[in-house]
């Protein structure tokens, strides 16, 4: 068996705002396995400034993995335990290698085009006019769950935007989620949560920065609306530490990005612990190309979580890998009339 890796730069259709600045491009890496006439493809979805494996030796580790591919997937996953995006790329590549086609990792009613996955419509940070335009577009295209990133402009303006949605659509018609990306100060976070709760917000992701376990635990205890941990899960490798975090904070939800928390295996460890604590969860992509999004979506469908998932990032790029994935009326579906075009 032979393994190679390839860097690929994704270009955003329009600059996308996050609490960490404006994104114009997104770097990603592919691991390609070849065994006789079989090919396996996996995406290592590195997210600069957020991934725990955003390290100077990232490419060197990918090279080592490809040079030692004979060790097999189980041994390699242990060797790259602190490189979660490479773990996920390896899981995909080995699964892809033994699949009927490189992109049918989990055959199901989803890949057969018979069922779809409900997803949230993502509203990127920006000025008031830009965010308002995005909201109108999502509602017009049939989304019933909207996730709005907050924390980049002033809180009162963001609150006004959310009030405008609620004035037009009740909580039964539109589910509103917000993602603060750790932007709130622990000193006034609870007051902001109270203002948001009046608008019947479904949940807020990561209101304060990760690593403040006691402050987050206090918030989860007193909060008037459900809190979802996101960044808090990044860089936590041992099951014991995962248990400690969830037992200490006792969040209402956790959000799992396989590229950031160790692929399928790392995500399933979090899910098992969350289920023990009656903590709900959902799955989110992390700006991968359609290759990684496909791998996440097919696996997500097998979990049978009925909540809207965070899998709506496939249409962000001008040069994405062409795939059968498409969004229709707030659902991600697999259109088998479309073909994969994977040419690096």
Residue 257 is among the residues annotated as catalytic for this protein? yes
Q: What residues contact residue 193 under an 8 Å CB cut-off, 6+ apart?
A: 204, 207, 219, 223, 224, 225, 227
Structure tokens at 151: 């924390």
Q: What is the pLDDT of residue 19?
A: 58
Residue-wise pLDDT tens for the chain (344 aa)?
Answer: 999 999 999 999 987 766 567 789 999 999 999 999 999 999 999 999 889 999 999 999 999 999 999 999 999 999 999 999 999 999 999 999 999 999 999 999 999 999 999 999 988 877 788 888 888 899 889 999 999 888 877 899 989 989 988 988 899 999 999 999 899 999 999 999 999 999 999 999 999 999 999 999 999 999 999 999 999 999 999 999 999 999 999 999 999 999 999 999 999 999 999 999 999 999 999 999 999 999 999 999 999 999 999 998 778 899 999 999 999 999 999 999 999 999 87
Among residues 94, 144, 116, 91, the alpha carbon closest in space to that of 298 is found at: 116
Q: What is the pLDDT of residue 343?
A: 84
Neighbours of 212 (CB within 10 A): 15
Q: Please name the residue that has the structure tokens 């990133």.
A: 149
Query: Hey, what domains does the chain have and what are their CATH numbers?
Result: 2-97 (3.30.390.10), 117-334 (3.20.20.120)
Q: What is the pLDDT of residue 18?
A: 64
Mapped onto helix, strand or coil, the DSSP state of residue 73 is: helix
Q: Please name the residue that has the structure tokens 């992701």.
A: 205
Mapped onto helix, strand or coil, the DSSP state of residue 53 is: coil
Residue-wise DSSP of 128-183 = HHHHHHHHHHHHHTT-SEEEEE-SSS-HHHHHHHHHHHHHHS-TTT-EEEEE-TTB
Question: Rounded to an integer, what distance in angstroms lies between the CA atom of residue 344 and that of residue 327?
Answer: 24
Residue 329 is among the residues annotated as catalytic for this protein? no
Q: What is the pLDDT of residue 14?
A: 83
Q: Which helix (H) or strand (E) holds 246?
A: helix 239-249
Q: Choose, from 26, 147, 149, 192, the residue flagged as catalytic.
A: 149
pTM over 0.85: yes
Q: What is the pLDDT of residue 292?
A: 98
């Amino acid at each position: 068996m032979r393994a190679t890796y390839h860097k690929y730069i994704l270009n955003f259709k329009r600059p996308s705002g996050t609490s960490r600045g404006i994104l114009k491009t997104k770097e990603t890496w592919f691991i390609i396995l070849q065994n006789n006439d079989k090919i396996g493809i996996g995406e290592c979805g590195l997210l600069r400034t957020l991934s725990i494996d955003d390290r100077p030796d990232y490419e060197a580790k990918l090279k080592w993995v490809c040079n030692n591919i004979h060790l097999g997937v189980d041994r390699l996953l242990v060797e790259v335990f602190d490189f979660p995006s490479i773990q996920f790329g390896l899981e995909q590549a080995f699964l892809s290698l033994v699949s009927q086609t490189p992109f049918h990792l989990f055959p199901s009613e989803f890949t057969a085009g018979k069922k779809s996955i409900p997803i949230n419509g993502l509203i990127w940070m920006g000025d008031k006019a830009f965010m308002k335009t995005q909201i109108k577009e999502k509602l017009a295209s049939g989304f019933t769950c909207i996730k709005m990133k907050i924390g980049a402009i002033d809180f009162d303006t963001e609150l006004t935007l959310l009030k405008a949605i609620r004035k037009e659509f009740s909580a039964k018609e539109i589910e509103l989620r917000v993602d603060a990306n750790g932007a709130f100060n622990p000193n006034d976070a609870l007051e902001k949560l109270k203002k948001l709760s009046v608008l019947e917000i479904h949940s807020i992701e990561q209101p304060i920065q990760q690593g403040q376990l006691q402050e987050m635990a206090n918030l989860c205890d007193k909060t008037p609306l459900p809190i979802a941990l996101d960044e808090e899960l990044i860089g936590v490798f041992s099951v014991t530490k995962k248990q400690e975090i969830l037992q200490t904070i006792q969040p209402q939800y956790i959000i799992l990005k396989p590229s950031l928390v160790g692929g399928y295996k790392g995500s399933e460890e979090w899910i098992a612990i969350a289920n023990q604590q009656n903590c709900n969860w959902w799955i989110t992509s992390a700006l991968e190309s359609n290759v990684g999004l496909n791998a996440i979506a097919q696996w997500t469908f097998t979990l049978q979580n009925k909540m809207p998932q965070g899998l709506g990032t496939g249409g962000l790029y001008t040069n994405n890998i062409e795939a059968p994935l498409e969004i229709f009326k707030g659902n991600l579906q697999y259109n088998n009339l479309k073909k994969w075009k994977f040419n690096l």
